[in-house]
Amino acid sequence: MTTRLVEGSEVVADAMVRAGCRFFAGYPMTPFTEVLEHMATALPPVGGVCVNAESELEAVGMVWGAAAAGTRAATGSTGQGLSLMQESIAEASLAGIGFVVLNMARGQGDYFQATRGGGHGDYRTPVLAPSGPVEVAELMAEAFELADRWRNPVVVVGDYYMAHTWVDIETPGEVPEPPPAPEWSLDGHSGGSGAAKLVSPLGTAKRRDGVGYDLAAHYEGCAQRRREMTAGITPRAELVETDDAEVVLVAYGTMARYADAAVSALRSEGHRVGLVRPITLWPFPEAQVKAAADGSAGVVAVYENNAGQMIDDVRLSLLGSSPVVGLNSFATDSSAFGIAPDVTVENLTASVRELLSEFGQDAT
Amino acid sequence: MTERRPDGLTVLPSDVAPTDAIQVADFTPDLVDVGEHHLCPGCGEPIAIRAVMDGISLLGLADKCMAVFGIGCSTAFSNNLDVEVLQALHGRAPSVATGVIRMRPELAVFTIQGDGDMANEGLQEVLHAAARGENIVCIMLNNGVFGETGGHLTVTTTIGQRTKNTIEGRNAAEHGHPMRIAEMLAQIDGVGYVARGAVNDAGNVARTKRMIVDAFTAQQQQLGLSFVEILTMCPTGWFIPTDEAPAYLAETIAGTHAVGVLRSELT
Amino acid sequence: MTDQTVRGTVVIDVEACKGCDLCIDACKPGVLSMTTDETNTRGYRFAELSVGCTGCRACADVCPDFCFQVFRFHEPKSWSPEGGFS
């Protein structure tokens, strides 16, 4: 088993190619740029195409086209770039065009953008949050599966650490062939047949069938597909020593790695601390958070590198059944790139100790 | 209005097809599913779309093409054609078409957009697609207004042209200058064919059909992006009677946006 | 009135017509005219055919509502006010 020291961005790019992605379009923006670079070199050898789009608007437009033409396609950026893509992401859900959107985020201030969507109308997107390069490969494959199955964009959230941390990775084998084009997709051939196919955010009602676009019926159909998608995806979280935890930390992505280390440190000191790490940010693992909180906890502490966004989903999971606090004071990113020097395990364990004295058994 | 019919003019029956004749034109062309549509009386867009569909039939591309529609009045035809259609968002058609052609290079991928969709919302899209030399055909139906919203200023509205935002007529001091899209694209080296047609009379319709055939021929020869701008009438958005629209096009629109072939790499 | 030569004819989908006049002005021999009082079921006046069509299809090419089928007779016919087509 040979291994190679590889940059996280390359692991992300390789994961996409191995998941069947054969079209990628993007615009450089730190810390997403290296994924774009690696896709530019990784795709051509497998017959794929990577386009350096002149704007994020064009990048996601190109992905629309490639995906509707039956290709597994993806785009990406960081928060700001994804803000420019929101209209196309929202309407892709109505058009039934699935693709993967990668956010190599700066910090975690894009949680709402990813989980609530920054676009318009009644749409949702599944959101997956790997906490390191190794988990990326598994989740990226799932992301493309979900996008194809639900014909809906899927967001994968990475960050600066994941992008620029070099890891020792087993050299992957042969790149698998991408799946065939889905039946609904367009390849031109139904033209002139009297039943030419249509892919449109306005619906697929053809005039020849005696109907025009019927937006009410189409939007109800989309709402039904969204209900099925919501029910059809199992919310997932990693649970670390939550059975008897007095303080249950909730954290995702790289911040969860810090939380994991803090749990180990505090457990070694005899403190009963646990961690719930959401893997699917949407649908949010409410049951796991509720179970961990009901088990024994005094308090649920949501550790985020933002001013407090995922905390809303934790509150919705608990509906007041346990106290919830946010641990963001020292995590607000003074670097503005999600790599604040004050984000350390020591700082986190110190603040958890305070919580223990306030909420734990040895609370005075 | 057209002067009324003189009294006593003989009216011949025109409801039954003759048997001792050959048919030279049908109601709807093969690739238009249904003739009836809700676009305004005197609208030029169905005429232009008919010319495009006739061109595609002529070149035998029906089962080897894909239309990427923009959003505007012409969207009425996005679910009314017997060719595969991918509906794009406002302004994004050239980018969406890029994604298609990159993965299916053998297809004749073309966009159908209005001037509002292409020249206002999506100008960057078509300029970059041209500079990249994407092997697609971009059709811009130019009536100098946002028709679907009832006749508002676009970047191609000509000086003096009345719109909802330029009630007294567009003047450069207040509303800026029109842009000549075909001329802009003709300077970009990634293009294989650039022309501007019009549908305000039968002669121009025939001329425009030739441009469309040449544009798709250039595309099939992989000469880069082909662009055909087609001046279309919009009596509603020009606030004039339908029968005055063809002349208005010639005088008010075509005066700034001249009809003709601007560039062709066809040998 | 001497006999007139008629080389072709059209079938007009009267219900599809929106009375926009484009065909009237496009018709080279000038044999199309708009009704004055009559309207179709949608309330639009519509085009009618007179004597002298050449089957040139200009009307079909400029019609925004696809109202015309155009035909050319195998043999040109002649028409007279008294006897109609002979």
B8 touches chain C (CB under 8 A): no
Tell me which residue of A74, A188, A35, A306 sits closest to B81, measured CA to CA: A188
pLDDT digits (tens, 9 = 90+) for B70-83: 999 999 999 999 99
Residue B76 C-alpha, separation from nearest chain A C-alpha, in angstroms: 9
User: What is the amino acid identity at position A280?
Assistant: T
A173 touches chain B (CB under 8 A): no
We report the CATH number of the domain holding residue A314 as 3.40.50.920
Q: Chains with ≥3 Cβ pairs under 8 A against C?
A: B
From first to last of the 364 residues of chain A, give the pLDDT tens digit.
788 999 999 999 999 999 999 999 999 999 999 999 999 999 999 999 999 999 999 999 999 999 999 999 999 999 999 999 999 999 999 999 999 999 999 999 999 999 999 999 999 999 999 998 889 988 999 999 999 999 999 999 999 999 999 999 888 888 999 999 999 999 999 999 999 999 999 999 999 998 889 999 999 999 999 999 999 999 999 999 999 999 999 999 999 999 999 999 999 999 999 999 999 999 999 999 999 999 766 899 999 998 899 999 999 999 999 999 999 866 567 788 888 888 889 999 999 999 998 886 655 4
Centre a 10 Å sphere on the Cβ of residue B233 and count the other Cβ atoms it contains: 31
Query: Six-digit token pair at B203?
Result: 């002669």
> B159 in a domain, yes or no?
yes
Euclidean distance between CA atoms B144 and B253, whole angstroms: 7
- Residues of chain C contacting residue B202, judged by C-beta atoms under 8 Å apart: 26, 28, 56, 58, 61-62
A56 touches chain B (CB under 8 A): no
- Residues of chain B contacting residue C43, judged by C-beta atoms under 8 Å apart: none
Euclidean distance between CA atoms B52 and B215, whole angstroms: 10
Angle at A285 between CA A280 and CA A286, to 5 degrees: 155
**Average model confidence (pLDDT) for chain B?**
96
**If DSSP codes are grouped into helix, strand and coil, which group holds residue B44?**
coil
Euclidean distance between CA atoms A279 and A131, whole angstroms: 8
- How large is the C-alpha radius of gyration of chain B? 19
The stretch B226-254 carries a mean pLDDT of 97
Q: Using an 8 Å Cβ cutoff, are A48 and A80 in contact? A: no
A23 touches chain B (CB under 8 A): yes
B154: left (phi over 0), alpha (psi -120 to 50) or beta: beta
Number of domains in chain A: 2
Domain range for C47: 4-74
- Residues of chain B contacting residue A206, judged by C-beta atoms under 8 Å apart: 33, 79-80
B33 vs A53, A188, A206: nearest CB: A206
> B24 in a domain, yes or no?
no
H, E, C per residue of C9-70 = EEEECCCCCCCCCHHHHHCCCCCEEECCCCCCCCCCCCEEECCCCCCCCHHHHHCCCCCEEE
Edge to edge, what strands does the sheet with A324-327 contain? Answer: A237-240, A273-278, A247-250, A299-303, A324-327
| A interface test, pick of B36, B68, B92, B103 with most A CB neighbours within 10 Å | B103
pLDDT at B245 over 90: yes
A62 vs B62, B66, B95: nearest CB: B95
Euclidean distance between CA atoms C3 and A150, whole angstroms: 71
According to the model, what pLDDT value does residue B178 have? 98
Domain range for A92: 2-171
B79 vs A91, A188, A206: nearest CB: A206
C20 touches chain B (CB under 8 A): yes
Residue identified by tokens 């608990």 is A318
pLDDT digits (tens, 9 = 90+) for B173-219: 999 999 999 999 999 999 999 999 999 999 999 999 999 999 999 99
Of B103-107, B222-226, C1-5, the one with minimum mean pLDDT is C1-5
Question: Do B and A have ≥3 inter-chain CB pairs under 8 A?
Answer: yes
Name residues 46-75 of chain C within 8 A of B (Cβ): 48-51, 55-58, 60-75
Question: Do C and B have ≥3 inter-chain CB pairs under 8 A?
Answer: yes
How are the residues of chain B apportioned to helix, strand and coil, as percentages rounded to the nearest 5? Answer: 35, 20, 45
Distances (CA, A) of A249 to A177, A299, B248: 40, 9, 71
C57 vs B11, B25, B28: nearest CB: B25
Q: What is the complex's ipTM, to 2 decimals?
A: 0.95
C39 touches chain B (CB under 8 A): no
Q: Using an 8 Å Cβ cutoff, are C4 and C78 in contact? A: yes
- Which band of pLDDT confidence, cut at 50, 70 and 90, is reported for residue C85? confident
C64 vs B15, B24, B43: nearest CB: B43
Q: Using an 8 Å Cβ cutoff, are B54 and C57 in contact? A: no
**If DSSP codes are grouped into helix, strand and coil, which group holds residue B261?**
strand
> C64 in a domain, yes or no?
yes
Residue identified by tokens 């029910």 is A231
The stretch B246-266 carries a mean pLDDT of 97
B99 and A70 within 8 Å at the Cβ level: the answer is: no
Distances (CA, A) of A362 to A78, A199, A273, B236: 43, 62, 13, 79
Number of domains in chain C: 1
Number of domains in chain B: 1
- Residues of chain B contacting residue A214, judged by C-beta atoms under 8 Å apart: none
Using the 3D structure, point to which of A125, A142, A171 is the last residue of a domain.
A171
Residue A128 C-alpha, separation from nearest chain B C-alpha, in angstroms: 25
Q: Which helix (H) or strand (E) holds A121?
A: none
A63 and B99 within 8 Å at the Cβ level: the answer is: yes
| A interface test, pick of B95, B216, B220 with most A CB neighbours within 10 Å | B95
Query: Six-digit token pair at B67?
Result: 């239309």
DSSP 8-class letter at B165: T
A62 vs B96, B104, B124: nearest CB: B96
We report the CATH number of the domain holding residue B117 as 3.40.50.970
Centre a 10 Å sphere on the Cβ of residue A261 and count the other Cβ atoms it contains: 16
Whether residue A140 is found in the same domain as residue A251? no
Whether residue A163 is found in the same domain as residue A309? no
B3 touches chain C (CB under 8 A): no
**H-helix segments, B10-104:** 45-58, 93-103
B201 and C19 within 8 Å at the Cβ level: the answer is: no
Whether residue A337 is found in the same domain as residue A246? yes
Euclidean distance between CA atoms A243 and A159, whole angstroms: 30
Whether residue A161 is found in the same domain as residue A29? yes
C55 and B47 within 8 Å at the Cβ level: the answer is: no
Task: List B168's β-bridge partners, or say none.
Answer: none
- Residues of chain B contacting residue A50, judged by C-beta atoms under 8 Å apart: none
> C79 in a domain, yes or no?
no
A356 touches chain B (CB under 8 A): no
Q: Which residues contact B266 (CB under 8 A, 6 or more apart)?
A: B192, B193, B214, B217, B218, B221, B223
According to the model, what pLDDT value does residue B5 have? 65
pLDDT at B136 over 70: yes
Question: Do C and A have ≥3 inter-chain CB pairs under 8 A?
Answer: no
Residue B109 C-alpha, separation from nearest chain C C-alpha, in angstroms: 24
**Average model confidence (pLDDT) for chain C?**
94
Minimal-distance CA residue of chain A relative to B126: A58
According to the model, what pLDDT value does residue A337 have? 86
A65 and B100 within 8 Å at the Cβ level: the answer is: yes
Using the 3D structure, point to which of A171, A196, A229 is the last residue of a domain.
A171
Q: Dihedral sign, CA of A54, A55, A59, A65?
A: negative
